[in-house]
Structure 1
Amino acid sequence: MRRLPVLLALVLGTSCEDPAPALEPGEELAGGDTTIRDESPNAFSYSARNMSFERRQRFVVGNSFFNKNWVIAPASTTGRDGLGPTFNARSCSACHFKDGRGRPPEGDEAFASMLLRLSIPGEGRHGSPRDVPGYGDQLQPNGIDGVSGEAVPKVSWVEQAGTFADGEPYSLRAPNYTLEDPAYGPLPPDLLISPRVAPAMIGMGLLEAIPEADLLAREDPDDADGDGISGRANRVWDLTAGAAVVGRFGWKANQPTVAQQTSGAFLGDMGLTTAMFPLENCPEEQVDCTAAPNGGTPEVEADLLEDVVFYSATLAVPARRGADDPEVLRGKQVFRDAGCADCHVPRHVTATDAAVEETRGQTIWPYTDLLLHDMGDALADGRPDFLADGNEWRTPPLWGIGLVETVNGHTTFLHDGRARSLMEAVLWHGGEAEPAREAVRALPRDQRDALVAFLESL
């Protein structure tokens, strides 16, 4: 019953709760002391602003290896050979261009900053998704010389018309994915596909530094408080700890740490082994893959991996723009009254004993709870991932979302980039977020515009 008066207040243009909010102290500094004040196309690529000069040298080294292409082994550049044998990209930055957000392909483009997770029903080791025979858990469409890429992914779109309560029409596009020319045997009829665009890299170390107890305190899997929100943490296997822990990273919170997320991307995206993932990504059916030369064991040496992890953990979050603008503050009120902040939790405080010193004791504004939520059938991929079911997704952080167009030249959002604007992203919300979506759909145009202005300020 809590949302009914809020919905009426939104429709009538009034608030039944507090007056329109003012700018809260420090709110414009999304990443606390790490925050960078920059609005340029390089806004996602700076080191944490509280980083010492000495540590910044390590950041620069990590940046270098994040951006450089890896090559096929054997090569004279032994420090970065071993690409493949099958792979999605040749560098980290090929997916995370300027440390930003990927997008779906347009027209006949290849999948460049987007990938497809694969599995079949059932559980793999430690509750992970079950690999597809001949293909593993991620489609690699490219192969080195003498090794075939696994298949050619394609996406097509179907428009779905809708209308706001005031009669203004809109259209959403729904994706359809197909895999052409599978190279390693027929694809199973029960194949599960989950598309994922590369997320922005900013603030990862800060998210890792949020105390686990704070995340778990927000869990409500049985909706005991009756507010319609039943977030829960994913529990995933931590290879270093040798135990199931809370997941924080990835679209379904299926990775526990920046280090494991980075090592997994080296293997899954570029076919590069690390100490954490020492085996080549070659299912037994891929004979040429198994026989291909490698770049050493492991291909990504420990010090190089540590520098890339440090780089990934210390990318600064940009400051907000126009955070005290009256239109933005009005949109902030709409965001709160619609219930968006129930999952996109604005504020957190990081642990004072976090592993990365720049992230310690910071008041941050990421707009996420890092929990899983049922987002409804329309956004479902049908693919379980540890505890996440086929309808559940992690609440993505919203910091930096208003700079995606500046940094990456597009405005596609959600896990698969289907939304072509921030408003389309809102309109795709279902499941636990359906009341919030319907509250927004019922708003007059000026309040919808204020909401977008607020989101663009983040």
Structure 2
Amino acid sequence: MEMLKKLFVTLIVLQFVSCQSDDSSDYKAIDLSERLYAGGGTTLFSVTSNAYRTPAPNLAAADMAMHLMGDVDFESVFVTAPSSINQGLGPIFNNSSCISCHPRDGRAPFPTLLSARSGLLLRTSMFGTDEHGGPVAVPGFGVQLQNQAIFGYKPEVTYSVIFTEIKETLADGTVITLRKPAFSIANSYMPMPGGAMLSPRIGPPVFGLGLLEAIPETDILAMQDIADADGNGISGKANYVWDPLLRQTILGRFGWKANTGTIRSQCAAAYVEDMGITNVIFDKETGHGQSNGSDGLGDDPELAAAILDQVVLYCKTLAVPAPRGIENKQVKDGAAIFEKIACAQCHKPQQKTGYSEISAISFQTFYPYTDMLLHDMGDGLADNRPDFLAGGSEWKTRPLWGIGLTQLVNGHTDFLHDGRAKNLTEAILWHGGEAQQSKEKFKQLSKKDREALLAFLNSL
């Protein structure tokens, strides 16, 4: 009888320990106070729908004046020529203003109607690389497919998508249904060459870009581990891309595959590819099919150099929203879980800037949660379209700062490069490749720990 009592007590203790191992008491809560200033001196303490679209509070007077002019430019809607202001739209395009693809300077939703103007577009290219190591333009279509056109022209294509459902079952029995999109095109103005690759893109947030541009290249390269020397299964690498303004190959920092090196080139490319607005960097109309590189109006470049300068500074100097609830135990526990399941191996919390000609950005310690590197994310997210050194399943680590304000600012929680994930849980479950182990650990979390991790992410 005594032995039975001891066995019963032992079983109770083991059950108690087992239950305890399922909750966040296993994790040492992280003090997040040093991360309060997510953007360093550019941090904004705002929990409003304007959290992404406010100038950095530490801007010098001259930079603030230029930022405010850039704000007007960013929201300006372009129209067809002739017009007294904002002329030059098209002849083929995806949207008519910067703000249309980056609503309230945030994240575009997955469109309800693919034929309408939206923050979604399709990149395209042929097999191989061009003379600079980048994507090969599709003859008659270029490297981006425009689904809108002005009077007298035809959209290059119309977009269509079908979804395949994929089930993921968590350890507690919760079943999550993911939807994998497969995009295709129809109604092309001329036959699309066989073998053309397609890759969707959703407009991302634009705040904090100046800080990311000012991270010293040596710091980013120091985070590489191409051969996975430490054996942790994570092997980030930098992309190197051709810059059309500098006329040289430089470190890639922007775009979903880090396929652009500077904010200036990113903005100039968006004007010509997204809106058909020629500029000092890209002075020929996009596509080179119907327009043959020119709309015949003799007004190229259509965008004044001063406006491009203003928009570039605007994108560099938007404030970064501060995290919220960092003293909350659930949030601190979630931060510990984030570290424990190795999310922070790629979404590195801290970065530092070097010198910048914009004093507000110089020598800042900030917390974007990115390593700025490419990682293999597995077949589930693969677009199978290379972009300079980025392979078909490689994507740049997206910064996580401000992600918890997406619903408040943009009215949705559509995440990932094509907006397929409808919430953070789905976004995590799409991780594969180098992030497969972290995904599996996430699936094994108890409901309490899972909610703590999501609370942390939503605090950012």
Q: TM-score range, shorter-chain basis?
A: over 0.9
Distance 2:21 2:139 in 1: 52
Deviates more, 1:108-117 or 1:319-328: 108-117
Which residue in the other structure is 2:261 paired with? 256
CA contact (8 A) 2:157 2:187 kept: yes
Is 1:327–1:450's contact at 8 Å kept on the other side of the alignment?
A: yes
TM-score (norm 1): 0.93
Q: For structure 1, which segment, 234-243 or 199-208, has the greater mean C-alpha deviation from structure 2 after superposition?
A: 234-243
**Partner deviation per Cα, 1:147-193 (whole Å, 9 max, x = no partner):** 1110111222222112101211111111021211111x222331211
Indicate how the Cα distance of structure 1 residues 103 and 295 shifts in structure 2: closer, same or farther if over 3 A, else same.
farther
| 2:128 paired residue among 122, 125, 129 | 122
Distance 2:287 2:107 in 1: 28
Aligned to 1:34: 42
Alignment of 1:385-424 (within 5 A): 385-424=387-426
* AA partner of residue 395 (structure 2): W
Map of 1:134-149 to 2, 5 A cutoff? 134-149=140-155
**Residue 222 of structure 2 corresponds to residue 203 of structure 1:** no
Cα deviation code 1:398-457 (max 9, x no counterpart): 011001111111001011111000011000000000000000000011100001000001
Q: How many residues align?
A: 443
Taking structure 1 as reference, are residues 290 and 242 closer, same or farther at Cα in structure 2, changes over 3 Å only?
Answer: closer
Helix, strand or coil at the partner of 2:255: coil
Note the alpha carbon deviations across 1:292-326, whole angstroms, 9 max, x for none: 34472211111111001000110111111112211
Cα deviation 1:197-228 (Å, max 9, x = unaligned):
00000100000011110000011111111111
Assess, with a 3 A threshold, how the Cα gap between structure 1 residues 9 and 303 changes in structure 2: closer, same or farther: farther
Indicate how the Cα distance of structure 1 residues 201 and 108 shifts in structure 2: closer, same or farther if over 3 A, else same: closer
Tell me: CA distance 1:74–1:370, structure 2 relative to 1, closer, same or farther (3 Å): same
Partner secondary structure for residue 231 of structure 2: coil
Indicate the residue corresponding to 1:332 in structure 2: 335
CA contact (8 A) 2:285 2:295 kept: no
User: Is the partner of 2:146 in helix, strand or coil?
Assistant: coil
Q: Would you say the 8 A contact 1:383–1:389 is kept in 2?
A: yes
Q: Which residue of 2 aligns with 1:23?
A: 32
The one-letter code of the counterpart of 2:350 is R
- Which residue is equivalent to 1:246? 251
Further displaced range: 160-169 or 421-430: 160-169
The one-letter code sitting in structure 2 at the alignment partner of 1:304 is I
Preserved CA contact (<8 Å) 2:123 2:199 = yes
Does the CA-based 8 Å contact 1:104-1:111 persist in structure 2?
no
Distance 1:206 1:19 in 2: 30
Deviation at 1:13, TM superposition (A): 3.8
Q: Which has the larger radius of gyration?
A: 2
Q: Would you say 1:322 and 2:330 are equivalent positions?
A: no
Indicate how the Cα distance of structure 1 residues 10 and 319 shifts in structure 2: closer, same or farther if over 3 A, else same.
farther
2:438 is aligned, of 431, 436, 439, to: 436
Compared CA separation, residues 394 and 294, structure 1 to 2 (3 A) = farther
Larger deviation, residues 163-172 vs 338-347: 163-172
2:118 maps to 112
1:13-162 maps to which residues of 2 (within 5 A)? Answer: 13=23, 19-25=28-34, 27-77=35-85, 80-106=86-112, 110-162=116-168
Whole-angstrom CA distance in 2 between matches of 1:43 and 1:10: 39
Aligned counterpart for 2:276 among listed residues 239, 260, 271: 271
Comparing 245-254 and 111-120, the one that deviates more: 111-120
Cα deviation code 1:315-367 (max 9, x no counterpart)? 1111111122111001001100000000000001111x223221111110000
The CA distance in 1 between the partners of 2:185 and 2:287, in whole Å, is 19
In structure 1, the residue corresponding to 2:238 is in which secondary structure? coil
Give the superposition deviation at 1:136.
0.8
Identity of aligned residues (%): 45
Unaligned runs of 5+ in 2: 1-17
Q: Answer yes or no: is the 8 Å Cα contact 2:29–2:329 preserved in 1.
A: no
Structure 1 residues 9 and 67, CA, compared in 2 at 3 Å: closer, same or farther?
A: farther
- State the distance in 1 between where 2:458 and 2:339 align: 15
Q: Match of 2:62, SS? A: helix
Counterpart among 165, 186, 197 of residue 171 in structure 2:
165
Helix, strand or coil for the counterpart of 1:66? Answer: helix
Write the mapping of 1:352-391 to structure 2, written as runs, cut at 5 A: 353-391=355-393
Counterparts of 1:412 and 1:371 in 2: how far apart (Å)? 22
Q: Is the 1:73–1:295 contact (alpha carbons within 8 Å) kept by the matching residues of 2?
A: no
- Cα root mean square deviation, aligned: 1.8
Q: Distance in 2 between matches of 1:395 and 1:106?
A: 27
**TM-score of the pair, normalised by structure 2:** 0.93
Closer, same or farther: CA 62–294 of 1 in aligned 2, 3 Å: farther
